[in-house]
Amino acid sequence: MTIREISLKTGLSPATISRALKKPHLVKNHTKELIMNVINQNDRYLKVLNILVPDVSIFPASDIINHIMNYLYDEDIQVILYSSKNDLNIERKIINRINNYNQKDSVLFWFPIASKRDENFTIPMIPTIVLYHGFYLPNFNPNILSINFDKIVEMTSNLLYKGGAKRLLILIDHAENSILGNKIKNLYNSYILSYCNLLKNVDFLFFEDNNWENVFHLLNKNYENTFPFDSIISLSSSIAYGVVTFLKTKKLSIPYDVSIITFGYDLGFELMEQPISMIYPDTQKAAEHIIYMAAQLIENDNFNDSISLNLQSSLLGSERKY
């Protein structure tokens, strides 16, 4: 609070308030108590950060959570972590619980499940930051921390173009009829038609969860006899793990028979040791943005912002030989 705001609430002059704050021994006790009561009642700051994610072990949520916890280790801020376990009903119950509890000066950081929601879905009633791109709920306008999928499409397509890919399979970790699933498919179709004229065949597979075993079984079912693709883009490294497992059973080599580009790195060393191109967001910066946005939401009721995560890319292992 400013001295002027304290003056308006206490009826004391700015000079008296300034003196009480700088030289309290010169001010009467009841005057000091009046000033401190007003400050304590009106000085708002972030006290509780609720974090709701589909799975605490899946990238990028896992990394962002770790960075947030490290940043807030010595801060007087309570962090409450919720996992919806990729279940919309559980997600709804958690949001209801947060709404009912309604902690003072609390903010929700929400990484929604990749699925459509109807207009009756429960809306968070506290200030909310959403990690998503293309997320939509009627009458809900959260602060957005978005993953720039336009940039992901550009970067992955450029890697394919340089590698000379001819037959491409794109695996998307969102429901086919979801807003984001359609957006990503349209982005790839548009970019591929414009820049990747070497491609002879492009196909899409959609997955509503990140279960690598489901990916493995579906690929095994669809391509039991032969695998017609020389390149794969996976929007999730969990899905890429299922692909790697499937290719091993077919005795196909990475990257010489099939090259893989994926987003994130949540499934550890077995996947990381493969020669795979990785594209990932700067999760440390994301955590910094979330904490900053949460603090601003409490301190300034009119604060509204949208931040896009920076993306980086790296190639693990040797490049594919064409």
pLDDT in tens, 119-146: 778 888 888 998 865 566 667 777 877 7
* Calpha distance 91→110 (Å, rounded): 10
* Calpha distance 104→133 (Å, rounded): 28
- In 3-state terms, what secondary structure has residue 245? helix
Which band of pLDDT confidence, cut at 50, 70 and 90, is reported for residue 82?
very high
Buried b (16+ CB within 10 A) or exposed e, 218-241: ebeeeeeeebebbbbbbbbbbbbb
Cβ atoms of 156 and 190 closer than 8 Å? no
Cβ atoms of 295 and 71 closer than 8 Å? no
* Calpha distance 320→163 (Å, rounded): 7
Lowest mean pLDDT across 38-52, 64-78, 224-238: 38-52
Q: Which one is predicted more confidently, 52 or 119?
A: 52
**Residue range 235-257: mean pLDDT, rounded:** 86
* Calpha distance 226→258 (Å, rounded): 13
Lowest mean pLDDT across 66-70, 223-227, 245-249, 263-267: 263-267
Q: For position 197, what pLDDT does the model report? A: 60
* Calpha distance 256→133 (Å, rounded): 34
Residues contacting 266, CB < 8 A, separation 6+:
57, 58, 59, 60, 62, 236, 237, 238
Which band of pLDDT confidence, cut at 50, 70 and 90, is reported for residue 271?
low
Q: How far is CA 186 from CA 116, 146, 180, in A?
A: 17, 18, 10
Give the pTM. 0.66
Question: How large is the C-alpha radius of gyration of the chain?
Answer: 25
Q: What tokens appear for 196 in the block?
A: 């990747």
Q: Which one is predicted more confidently, 66 or 172?
A: 66
Residue whose pair of structure tokens reads 């947030």 in the numeric block: 68
Q: Which one is predicted more confidently, 69 or 168?
A: 69
In the chain, % of residues over pLDDT 70 = 80
List, for residues 175-204, the tens digit of each pLDDT value: 677 767 777 888 887 777 665 566 677 888
Residue whose pair of structure tokens reads 């028979």 in the numeric block: 257
Which band of pLDDT confidence, cut at 50, 70 and 90, is reported for residue 268?
very low
Structural element, H or E, at residue 129 = strand 128-131
- Helix intervals (H) in the chain: 3-10, 14-22, 29-42, 61-71, 88-101, 149-163, 179-195, 212-222, 237-249, 268-272, 283-299
**Residue range 271-295: mean pLDDT, rounded:** 79
